[in-house]
């Protein structure tokens, strides 16, 4: 069988093998009696160099149709490459041009383009070195996540995107409707939702956690991996209106088990990506952020630091550093505090646990004394919080009280409370913003450059 994928040829292709490749021209250099064409099919950072001799029958008419971005098929013999930085190249025996790419109008010229510019041509930007590396790494991360959980017997559960409930009472939700907004049915001056598709106000989910808890009470260990939404009007390099989230949930698990899972999870994913995409990771280290390889090593080889919130506050106070937000117990840690802990003090991922009850969500388990809850945040150097999790409140009476304290209506949570009514068990889980992970891994500074088609305020093109 002919090998055709260029990644495979670059890795294992043997001299004298005849292969056919199909892809796009990355660069072309015409010489007197032949032309070098670097062909990429997106399977690897590097393309394969094809040497096309002028004595091929269609050379005269066809070679000039090839320019950056044009598509072609080349068949030829693999030969050791005399060029530097490449083990092997191809001596073309025939080639066919599929589609041209007019150099006068093709937006991707050989020069470097800004990421801002590339976002406006998101339909083409995956053809650039950087973005193609990002999306290969993104795919490897995704595959690693599924492998990690499936190997451990976790079930992937598809929690709903459309929901009538608001997981954290957080508010920032998009409304979903089948109404024609120019002709809303009204009832006593208000929109009559009973006439809408679902018969009540419906939103895009902000988290699959509550439904994952349902599934965990039947299958013990489950995880979600799907899109979630936040209608926050934040135009920052860290926010998307649509992003992917990973949320494992484990029955018979406490905060310690949750931390252990989060730590092995991150180590596994980094290791996997380093093994599958070494060239892409090298590229990021060289071109984007020269600390990404160190960071990966750091994650893979170090035990994460673990401190309670109370200890962390003490350490921040003892640091005598000047923070913009003054440090005192009860403070909702800001990025500056998180980064100090992970980057300067521990110099590695740091798990902070047992946060003040006041600043955390109603479903987190109350610790003895009730001043703190069994929550944990994993803080990563440079990124800050990358994982947030908790042991969940499994005691019916406590949960009911906590709902009321949070001014949420227990009746709306009837099914969530039922989980505590029938066969309740200690359980825990966490949430990971998938794009933050890809940012962290690649060193890309803007989150819009790690998702193929970013959705942010006023941006919904493609």
Site for its own copies, residues 185 to 214, rule: CB under 8 A = 190-191, 197-200, 202, 204, 211, 214
124 vs 408, beta carbon nearer its own copies:
124
For residue 305, which of 241, 196, 378 has the smallest C-alpha distance?
378
Residue 233 binds its own copies (CB under 8 A): yes
Q: Which stretch binds its own copies (CB under 8 A): 77-85, 124-132, 260-268, 319-327?
A: 124-132
Q: Which is nearer to its own copies, 101 or 291 (CB)?
A: 101
Among 181, 322, 369, 411, binds its own copies (CB under 8 A): 181
Q: Compute CA distances 396 → 18, 354, 372, 402, 414, whole Å.
A: 69, 21, 18, 10, 11
Asked if 171 interacts with its own copies (CB under 8 A), we say no
Could you tell me the two tokens for 411?
A: 């009746």
Footprint of its own copies on 54-73 (CB under 8 A): 69-71, 73
Task: Answer yes or no whether residue 317 interacts with its own copies by CB under 8 A.
Answer: no
State the Cα–Cα distance between residues 78 and 16, nearest whole angstrom. Answer: 5
- Which of the residues 94 through 123 are near its own copies (CB under 8 A)? 98-102, 105-106, 121-123
CA count, 13 A, side-chain hemisphere, 205: 20
- Rounded alpha-carbon distances, angstroms, from residue 343 to 262, 295, 305, 335: 19, 11, 11, 11
246 lines the binding site for its own copies (CB under 8 A): no
Under rule CB under 8 A, residue 45 binds its own copies: no
CB atoms within 10 A of CB 356: 17
Looking at the DSSP bridge assignments, the partners of residue 96 are 73
- Note whether 161 binds its own copies by CB under 8 A: yes
User: Of 311 and 461, which has the nearer Cβ to its own copies?
Assistant: 461
| Residue number with CB closer to its own copies (3 or 333) | 3
- Long-range CB contacts (within 8 A, 24+) of 453-459: 453/122, 454/119, 454/122, 454/240, 454/242, 455/240, 455/241, 455/242, 456/235, 456/239, 456/240, 456/241, 457/233, 457/234, 457/235, 457/241
**Quick one: 137 or 342, whose CB is closer to its own copies?**
137
Contact (Cβ atoms closer than 8 angstroms) between residue 450 and residue 130 = no
Distance CA 316, CA 319 (A): 5
Closest CB to its own copies among 217 and 351?
217
Told to check if 278 binds its own copies by CB under 8 A, we report no
Distance of CA 189 to the CA centre of its chain: 43
Nearer to its own copies, 59 or 106 (CB): 106
Does 48 bind its own copies (CB under 8 A)? Our answer is no
424: contact with its own copies by CB under 8 A: yes
By the rule CB under 8 A, 453 interacts with its own copies? yes
Residue 133 as a binder of its own copies (CB under 8 A): the answer is: no
């Amino acid at each position: 069988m002919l090998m055709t994928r260029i990644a495979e040829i670059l890795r294992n292709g043997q001299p004298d093998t005849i292969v056919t490749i199909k892809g796009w021209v990355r660069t072309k250099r015409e010489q007197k009696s032949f032309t070098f064409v670097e062909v990429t099919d997106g399977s690897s950072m590097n393309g394969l160099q094809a040497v096309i001799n002028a004595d091929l029958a269609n050379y005269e008419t066809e070679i000039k149709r090839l320019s950056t971005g044009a598509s072609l098929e080349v068949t030829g013999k693999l030969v050791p490459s005399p060029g530097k930085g490449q083990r092997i190249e191809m001596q073309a025996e025939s080639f066919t041009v599929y589609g041209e790419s007019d150099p006068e109008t093709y937006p991707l010229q050989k020069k470097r383009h800004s990421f801002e510019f590339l976002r406006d041509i998101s339909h083409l930007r995956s053809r650039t070195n950087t973005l193609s590396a990002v999306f290969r790494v993104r795919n490897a991360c995704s595959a690693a996540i599924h492998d990690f959980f499936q190997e451990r017997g976790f079930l992937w559960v598809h929690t709903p995107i459309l929901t009538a409930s608001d997981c954290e009472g957080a508010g920032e939700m998009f409304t979903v409707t089948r109404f024609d907004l120019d002709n809303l049915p009204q009832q006593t001056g208000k929109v009559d939702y009973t006439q809408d598709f679902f018969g009540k106000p419906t939103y895009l989910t902000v988290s699959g956690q509550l439904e994952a808890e349902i599934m965990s009470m039947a299958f013990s260990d489950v995880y979600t991996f799907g899109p979630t939404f936040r209608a926050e009007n934040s135009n920052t390099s860290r926010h998307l209106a649509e992003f992917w989230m990973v949320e494992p949930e484990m029955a018979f698990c406490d905060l310690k088990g949750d931390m252990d899972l989060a730590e092995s999870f991150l180590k596994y994913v980094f290791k996997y990506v380093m093994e599958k995409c070494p060239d892409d990771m090298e590229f990021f280290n060289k071109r984007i952020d020269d600390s990404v390889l160190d960071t990966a090593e750091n994650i893979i080889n170090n035990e994460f630091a673990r401190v309670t919130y109370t200890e962390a506050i003490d350490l921040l106070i003892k640091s005598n550093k000047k923070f913009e937000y003054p440090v005192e117990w009860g403070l909702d840690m800001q990025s500056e505090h998180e980064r100090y802990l992970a980057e300067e003090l521990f110099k590695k991922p740091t798990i902070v646990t047992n946060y003040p009850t006041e600043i955390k969500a109603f479903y987190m388990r109350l610790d003895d004394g009730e001043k703190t809850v069994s929550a944990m945040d994993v803080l990563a150097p440079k990124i800050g919080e990358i994982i947030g999790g908790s042991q969940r409140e499994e005691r019916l009476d406590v949960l009911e009280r906590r709902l009321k304290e949070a001014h949420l209506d227990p009746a709306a949570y009837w099914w969530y409370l039922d989980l505590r009514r029938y066969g309740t068990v200690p359980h825990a889980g966490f949430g990971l913003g998938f794009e933050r992970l890809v940012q962290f891994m690649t060193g890309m500074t803007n989150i819009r450059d790690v998702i193929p088609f970013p959705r942010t305020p006023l941006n919904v093109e493609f």
